[in-house]
Structure 1
Amino acid sequence: MSSEHTVFQTFLGALEGAGSVLLTCFAGYIVARRGLLDHSTVKQVSKLCTTLFLPCLLIVQMGPELSVSSLSRYWIIPLWGLISTAIAHLIGWAGQRLLHLKHWTIIACGRPNSNALPLLLLQSLESTGVLSQLSDDGDLKRVLNRAKSLLLLNAIVQQVITFQLAPSVLRLDDGQHKSDAGPGTLRPGPGRILPVAQDEERVGLLDDSEDQEEADGINGRGALQPIQDMPDYRWPRHLEFAKKPLLTVWTYMSPPLIGAIIALIFGLIPPLRETFLDEDGTMFPAITQSVKNLGELFVVLQTFTVGAELALVPSSSPGVLQTVWVLSIRFLVMPALSVLFVFLTAGKGWYVDDRLVWFLLVLIPAGPSAMLLVNVAELVDIDQGPIAGCLTIAYLLSPLMALVCSIGLAVVDAKS
């Protein structure tokens, strides 16, 4: 009876948390539908989230957890993120081949929202008391900070994988091009360099005005390709051998990835860690606190813009079969697989004995698809309507994450 009561209370708390996430997303939807935000503004806000707020969050949230000892303890998080994402993509590919679905369903099946949605859900679970069940010392703030750090570590891994895969897969669909120019016609003007598409969840990488693109002679699809015309920096002759590999690596860098690298450097070097990341450090009150303030803007603002994006992108019917397939993978198959993984492996000494880590292993592969699908579809010039329609339904079903959370906590309790 007591156990059943605990599971029920956990489900109610998780449902309240998932509901708060949905309402935050819905607020963005309503604001955009009322005309208070236009597509250009939403893209700029989302770009700001990705290029400034998310890197700041990564530095202050991941840095303290990226010591050598922490990395040796928590390696299972990024590894499971890599494996589960690969499995989900493979299942999506199998369904696409067998059921003759659109290729975008492969990415929709494989890539969950790994940033804003789970981070906001964790905050809500902390406020409803659910997260307290994963605390051994009663310090909920410490548990929440550690959970955020581990989720962000997974998000960086998934971002790298997906953005090497998504553009080429989505290009296999019908490709209703908006320009007569061929895919190889990218020729940036003097001094103009287009970045690689670099957002984890969603970000507008094109200029606000398509007319400006035409005037500059730019094909927006090139934003998904490596930078073509890098300026000649007149490298010293003795460093010429390093020029090509370094420039190649730089074209695949992104603000979040740079933020993660900075967090790793600060976390692994004791003097920098003590100066910037410890609350008693010399630079913490002035510099780190400012970075922390900016980073805290990311979670709610990004979730808000997800709702606004769903309101502004013209949607169309994604088809019953495609919708059911994607939602089944995201809300049934992957959560079931993650629960099975934790049930079979946790507590056997294969990885860290940590209730929070076990719970996050259940949470990582679950939930609606990432909003990046709409942005990549825009950039590779395919019909965004069915994708937006499918994502709208997926986010309306996001309260189902309460069931995933309650089952995950029940499994964690059983393995403890």
Structure 2
Amino acid sequence: MGVAAGELIVPFTGAIQAAFSVLLTIAFGVVAAQCNLLSPNAAKEVSKLCVRMFLPALLIYKIGSNLHQDTGVRYVPVLIWSISYTLLSVLVGRVLTRLFKLPAWVAPAIAFNNTTSLPLLLIQSLKQTQVLDAILIGGESGSEAMDRAESYFLVNAMVSNSLTFALGPRLLRPGDEDASNELHGEDDDLENGEANGDGGSSDMERGPDGIVDEETSLLPHQLTKPANRVEVKGYLKTRAWFNNLSPWLQETLEITWHFANAPLIGAIVGAVIGLTPALHRIFFSPSNEGGYLNASITAAIKNIGDLFASLQIIVVGVKLSKSLLRMKRGEHSGEVHKGSLATVTLIRFIIWPLISIPLIYAIASKTKLLDADPMLWFSMMLMPTGPPAMILVALADVTGAAESMKMTVAKFLTISYAVTPMICFAVVGALKATEAAIDQ
């Protein structure tokens, strides 16, 4: 019993450090909002910036640097496993939400776990505590193994984020409080512009004497007006063509379009660079070995990619601050039902580890389907485990969910990360199962 307790202390400490760092980052977001350093509208824009720029950059760097022609095959099981457990989670979330009449946000909370910020922070904490030294391949350093583990988790994140924005809006069922301006304003502007015959241009583009602000194009008016007219006509013709399609084909195209998101594009770019020897050398080799872009473009991509995890969590703190202010004033600030919280926690922290750890252990020890990389086995065991994704905040923003739901999601995420040290049991189980698979 004493040995078991001793084996639990180190990973438990690592899990606490990872969870505490997340909670502290949320607290910084609350402070930023309270001190008027970051408004809710600015936080919404930052959330979109994280998903559409910072996360793709992170995927390009991590996947591109770790993917080679001779190691690419080991990522195939990660893709298959990520798609499988996410789709199964979507099915479970949809069934439970309908069966027990749970709030709409419970379905995506069950379906999409944190596949980016928490795993990266957890791996960093475990690296510092040297917990994973027992499953390192002979001769390799801990840093090399941790980088490889991060690349596995990021491939998983690419799949999860693609499915989140493809299937998430249907699970979340957006409210109409914020949706009208965001979802329909662009169409109305385009139609009005065409009706006025100005190609969608505003008074701000009518000439040098017109109104100029930060959104005014720097190009000459003679260039912007024809370009806007062509853009509007192309949009209206495309929409007319789309409306003439059969309903089932329209739905198929909409679902396919949702999959074409920025994280997926970033992952594809990273894969192309990694699997093309010439590009891999130019982007990731040392400068004196042909890496001519390593110190410039690659460094810039890495710098903005590293911003993703912390900024996405700060946005949650801003949302939480707004909820706390409403609560203080006695207004409705979103409510997290105990049953919903217990359901999500049970599935994410207990049921999925009980499924994934024995399953991956059996595949690694009894078959040749997985590459002989213990870090791959360990990563796959932990992929379905953990609290709901922070990106649910961005999902609520881009789908136009009701403000009360956004604040509920922020509260729920904060509570979920407060109980995140529970992941230590899954970490210990995955570590022991990986060691046992090595001995087979």
User: Residue deviations 1:73-101, cap 9 Å, x none?
Assistant: 22111211111111212222222232122
Q: Counterparts of 1:195-234 in structure 2 under 5 Å? A: 230-231=234-235
User: Residue deviations 1:26-74, cap 9 Å, x none?
Assistant: 3323333444322122223333333332222222211123333322122
Out of 177-186 and 64-73, give the one that drifted further.
177-186
Give the match for residue 282 of structure 2. 275
Aligned amino acid, residue 352 of structure 1: D
Distance in 1 between the 2:181 and 2:273 partners?
45
Q: Counterparts of 1:4-83 in structure 2 under 5 Å? A: 5-83=6-84
TM-score by length of 2: 0.74
User: Residue deviations 1:130-178, cap 9 Å, x none?
Assistant: 233332235122112111111111111112222221112222x7x3545
Aligned residues: 372
Q: CA deviation at 1:325?
A: 1.1
User: Residue deviations 1:357-397, cap 9 Å, x none?
Assistant: 11111221111112333443343434414333322221221
Distance in 2 between the 1:187 and 1:33 partners?
36
Closer/same/farther in 2, CA of residues 297 and 100 from structure 1, 3 Å limit: closer
Q: Confirm or deny: 8 A CA contact 1:7 1:410 kept in the other structure.
A: no
Give the match for residue 85 of structure 2. 84
Aligned amino acid, residue 279 of structure 2: L
Give the match for residue 424 of structure 2. 402
Q: CA deviation at 1:336?
A: 1.9
Give the match for residue 153 of structure 1. 155
Q: Which runs of 5 or more residues in structure 2 are unaligned?
A: 194-198, 201-230, 239-249, 327-332
Give the match for residue 368 of structure 1. 387
SS state of the match for residue 70, structure 2?
Answer: helix
Aligned amino acid, residue 322 of structure 2: L
Please point out which of 375, 381, 384 is paired with 2:401. 381
TM-score by length of 1: 0.78
1:335 to 2:345 alignment: no
Distance in 1 between the 2:309 and 2:127 partners?
15
Q: Which runs of 5 or more residues in structure 1 are unaligned?
A: 193-226, 235-243
Aligned amino acid, residue 340 of structure 2: Q
User: Residue deviations 1:261-306, cap 9 Å, x none?
Assistant: 2212211222111111222312212322222222223233333333
Distance in 2 between the 1:361 and 1:44 partners?
33
1:169 to 2:171 alignment: yes
Q: Confirm or deny: 8 A CA contact 1:15 1:401 kept in the other structure.
A: no
SS state of the match for residue 68, structure 1?
Answer: coil
1:354 to 2:373 alignment: yes
Closer/same/farther in 2, CA of residues 145 and 334 from structure 1, 3 Å limit: same
Distance in 2 between the 1:52 and 1:272 partners?
21
User: Residue deviations 1:333-357, cap 9 Å, x none?
Assistant: 1222212222322222221222111
Q: Percent identity?
A: 32
1:284 to 2:285 alignment: no
Closer/same/farther in 2, CA of residues 406 and 61 from structure 1, 3 Å limit: same
RMSD: 3.4
Give the match for residue 319 of structure 2. 309
| Bigger Cα Rg | 2
SS state of the match for residue 38, structure 2?
Answer: coil
Distance in 2 between the 1:17 and 1:104 partners?
25
Please point out which of 139, 142, 154 is paired with 2:141. 139
Q: CA deviation at 1:7?
A: 3.8
1:322 to 2:340 alignment: yes
